[in-house]
Amino acid sequence: MDIMMTAEKQKEGPSWDVLFPHAVSFDQPGYNYTSMGVGGKIDRIMCPRSASELGDMVSLLRTHHIPYTVVGNWTNLIVTDKGFRGALIWTKNLDRVWAERDKNHAQKITAQAGALLMELVGLTMRENLTGLEFCGGIPGTVGGAVRMNAGAYGHSVSESIVAVTLMDGEGRTRAWEREDLFFEYRNVHLSPGHLIVDATFQVFPAAQGQVEAKVSKIMADRMAKHPLNYKNAGSIFKNPKNHAPAGHLIEEAGLKGYAVGDAAISEKHGNFIINRGGASAADILALIEHVQETIFLRYGILLEPEIKVIGEQ
């Protein structure tokens, strides 16, 4: 079966609604889902309600040679204007979060891939557990945060990870210890086809109110610095190694406010692109390319995008 077939032809295959009742939708506009408010038609969105159902979905998609990728909170993501041919597996229902002590009485928090980072942060505030405050205000999910080794304020999630449960292309799961995983700046190396099911984090007891106070300060700092009143996808570029942060380079190059269509570099933060109302994915991608060219010509630095772009070009 041709993997580039239309959604209509794909519907002629498995009885999706029978196999996964109320868990599959077809021909959805990407702009209704992405935090940037852009994107063309997505052939199929699948929302597994358990790790077992996730495995069943992956197995069936692979059997029928249908391309797929996993999405969390639709932040840090651009769907192209031509849309996505295949299936997006949305982990929104895989959202359990729980705290526990191990046999050595160490405090740990485990969260499924679709749980919001702010759910973890909320739990640490309620239970007075420190170690994840820097995640305050990051809008993504646990799966996305692990996949991109998300971080802020000099910290990254890999510092706190104890173990990650991965699923292979056959739907089999295995827990990987931290020392068996290779993390780097804004990335973790995973074998092709492996999906993140859940992750366990090490946290530590803190004084009453200490965690909440620190998170509140971080949230206030984000509100002051980031253009949260516009649709955006967070930081657009990774900070280049051994150089000033990407936002500083962009500001120094005089690019704040530069626009392509309704996509513009934020006046508030140089590493944010905002949708002023009617931007297309093409506008955003053209603006990213312009910034890269400008920074490379001025500094000899090629900025690498932190966001993920999916769909037909």
For 242, other C-beta atoms within 10 Å of its C-beta total 6
Helix (H, G, I), strand (E, B) or coil at 245: coil
Q: What are the structure tokens assigned to 236, written together?
A: 């657009």
Burial environment of residue 4 by CB neighbours within 10 A (0 to 12, 13 to 18, 19 or more): exposed
DSSP result, 161-210: EEEEEEE-TTS-EEEEEGGGSEEETTEEE--TT-EEEEEEEE-EE--TTH
Looking at residue 58, the DSSP 8-state letter turns out to be: H
Between CA 89 and CA 24 the distance in angstroms is 9
Sign for the pseudo-dihedral over CA of 44, 45, 51, 53: negative
Q: What is the residue whose two structure tokens read 């295995």? A: 174
Strand partners for 26: 44
Number of helices (H), then strands (E), in the chain: 8, 21
- Residue 312's closest CA among 283, 281, 290, 274? 281
Between CA 132 and CA 151 the distance in angstroms is 10
Answer whether 313's CB lies under 8 Å from 289's CB.
no
Residues serving a catalytic function are: 186, 235, 306
For 23, other C-beta atoms within 10 Å of its C-beta total 17
